[in-house]
Amino acid sequence: MSFRPFTDTWILARPKVRYFGAYPAGFLLKARDLIGCGYGDSVLHVCAGRVRDYKCGPGCPGSNSVTHFHGQGEYDLTWDLDRSLKPDLIADDCESSAWGSIITAHPQIQGVLADPPYTDWYAQHYLVNTSGAQRPTPNSIVTNAINILPVGGRVGILSMEWPRYPKTRARQIAVVHVLVGNGNIGRTFAVYERTG
């Protein structure tokens, strides 16, 4: 029997964080659930932006704490080129060697969430355009993320395209259309699970 991923549409509120390309309100909580990672699991946020600024919602562990965010779990790592965002890791995520060194230093990573610049036009609004780094492609992020995850680990990527994935080592779990209202671009949130 062939496996068919489930599909869905999320109609979410506009971002509450002031940052170009910020996640829609409520996205991170749903995305984290879909990659199967709870607050105590380690998630690597690739092209992290200001993921730490997403406040916790009702019912989150530590929701009474000023320092807890639902986008940033207890053991999460952020990866971005923009030093002003104070990411945990600063490297060009187009480089396969950077991915290898991350898993060597942080073998506890259980999931990956990525939100790369969607096009060259979008990349102009981020440091990727001024640092000499290439714009990471969704396909390369998915492949590299699958390679660092344990079997059963999942990568979720928000993109304007539906990324390819290494079919011999992973399977498609979900494809979700993400909207924030009429007149706005639609994006795809695709989730893949490492199988071998």
Greater confidence (133 vs 110) lies with 110
Beta strands 154-159; 187-194: pairing state: antiparallel
C-beta of residue 77 within 8 angstroms of C-beta of residue 88? yes
Residue with tokens 């807890």: 68
Q: Which of 55, 32, 51 is nearest to 155 (CA)?
A: 32
For the segment 133-162, what is each residue's pLDDT rounded down to a tens digit?
Answer: 567 889 999 999 999 999 999 999 999 999
C-beta of residue 105 within 8 angstroms of C-beta of residue 62? no
**CA count, 13 A, side-chain hemisphere, 37:** 34
Q: Where are the beta strands (DSSP E) in 80-149?
A: 109-114
Q: Per-residue pLDDT for 170 more than 90?
A: yes
Phi-psi region of 59 (alpha: psi -120 to 50; beta: other; left: phi over 0): left
Domains and CATH numbers, the chain: 6-194 (3.40.50)
Q: For the chain, what is the mean pLDDT?
A: 81
Amino acid present at 20: F
Confidence of residue 13 (pLDDT cuts 50, 70, 90): confident
Q: Whole-model pTM?
A: 0.84
Helix and strand numbers, DSSP H then E, in the chain = 4, 7
